[in-house]
Amino acid sequence: KYYEPLKVGFQPANSGGKIPLGLKRKGLRIVVTGGAGFVGSHLVDRLIARGDSVTVVDNFFTGRKENVMHHFKNPRFELIRHDVVEPLLLEVDQIYHLACPASPVHYKHNPVKTIKTNVVGTLNMLGLAKRVGARFLLTSTSEVYGDPLQHPQVETYWGNVNPIGVRSCYDEGKRTAETLAMDYHRGASVEVRIARIFNTYGPRMCIDDGRVVSNFVAQALRKEPLTVYGDGKQTRSFQFVSDLVEGLMRLMEGEHVGPFNLGNPGEFTMLELAQVVQETIDPNARIEFKPNTEDDPHKRKPDITKAKDLLGWEPKIPLRKGLPMMVSDFRQRIFGDHKEEGT
């Protein structure tokens, strides 16, 4: 009864997003940094559908208004053009901190900006979480394991990362972001959650972002050769975006800080991935080998025992089921609504 007067967006700050036991949840005020990007926009859809009020904070470096435009008329949705490297004042209950380019092509484009985003941007959002007592979730990455010497990777593995390489702005930036989150947790009692995300794909990925799944799908649709870097024997494990979003929300709502690996353990070489893309889009798609990029990790596969045990989470959508959903989105965006495969 005492909970009745609470309206959407009316939850007191300092609640840390916690709802007293036995009471039906009302909408929370949630910030999603990077919410106009690929993963962020899918997360926003779920939060809005659940009844929360969502403020997206994005500088549109790799994000697009089109990804969240369908919420523009919803009074529970707000979009702020803002760079997280600058301080920000808001009153909120939870912060999902995703702002950071994820594709190697994008994060290498301006490496110093990438470090600033990861370090200063994360510091600012943690400062905000501390001030208002919000719960804070960091989207870290499997890249913190670098070129791993343990396989599959467990959260207790400390990684094998080059501190002075071309990928370091991202790997080391995210490692520092994790450090900051833990220090705010230990030193300032901020409720933090850390997700280590493995390669994720799905609708709304930038078409030309240089990541392997988006590259292969766009190439096959455009009848261009699939560009396999190196010998194509390196592996990755690909997770469909809706599985990730479910994992992020369970992590935020649960009682465990983490870090948690969130990924699909289904592991593929890049040549096997090319084959799945051929089967899905065009069996005649050609493969073209190109030189690999510097410091490319040889293999990557999550051990997700911890997330299964403590969050009750595991991915549901295998690559062969997820890929077609991404392909229809890419087909629409590349050709427009009516163009069919092979025409």
Q: What residues line the site for ligand NAD (CB under 6 A)? A: 33-34, 36-40, 58-63, 83-85, 98-102, 117, 121, 139, 141, 197, 199-200
C-alpha of 116 from chain center: 18
170 is annotated as an active-site residue: yes
How far is residue 174's CA from residue 145's CA, in Å, rounded to a whole number? 11
| Residue 314 backbone phi and psi in degrees, to 5 | -155, 150
From 71-79, 108-116, 239-247, 292-300, span contacting ligand UDP (CB under 6 A): 292-300
- Please choose, from the candidates 149, 155, 89, 167, the residue with its C-alpha nearest in 3D space to the C-alpha of residue 303: 155
Closer residue to ligand UDP, CB minimum distance, 41 or 237:
237
Give the strand pairing for 94-97 and 135-141: parallel
Give the strand pairing for 29-33 and 53-58: parallel
299 burial type by CB count under 10 A (0-12 exposed, 13-18 middle, 19+ buried): middle
Q: Is 291 in the site for ligand UDP (CB under 6 A)?
A: no
First-residue to last-residue Cα distance in the chain? 61
DSSP reduced 3-state for 115? helix
Residue of 145, 170, 184, 201 marked active site: 170
Closer residue to ligand NAD, CB minimum distance, 61 or 145:
61
Per-residue binder mask for ligand UDP (CB under 6 A), 183-222, x = binder: ----------------x-----------xx--x-------
Question: 310 to 329, contacts with ligand UDP by CB under 6 A?
Answer: none
How far is residue 116's CA from residue 111's CA, in Å, rounded to a whole number? 9
Contact yes or no for 326/217 (Cβ under 8 A) = yes
| Structure-block tokens of residue 197 | 């995300």
Member of 48, 115, 128, 180 binding ligand UDP (CB under 6 A)? 128
Which of ligand NAD, ligand UDP, none does 98 bind, CB closer than 5 to 8 A by kind? ligand NAD
| Residue 29 backbone phi and psi in degrees, to 5 | -100, 115
Per-residue binder mask for ligand UDP (CB under 6 A), 107-126, x = binder: ----------------xx--
Q: Give the residue at shortest CB distance from ligand UDP.
A: 127
Per-residue binder mask for ligand UDP (CB under 6 A), 79-98, x = binder: --------xxx---------
List the catalytic residues.
170
Q: Which residues bind ligand UDP (CB under 6 A)?
A: 87-89, 104, 123-124, 127-128, 130-131, 199, 211-212, 215, 227-229, 234, 236, 270, 292-293, 296
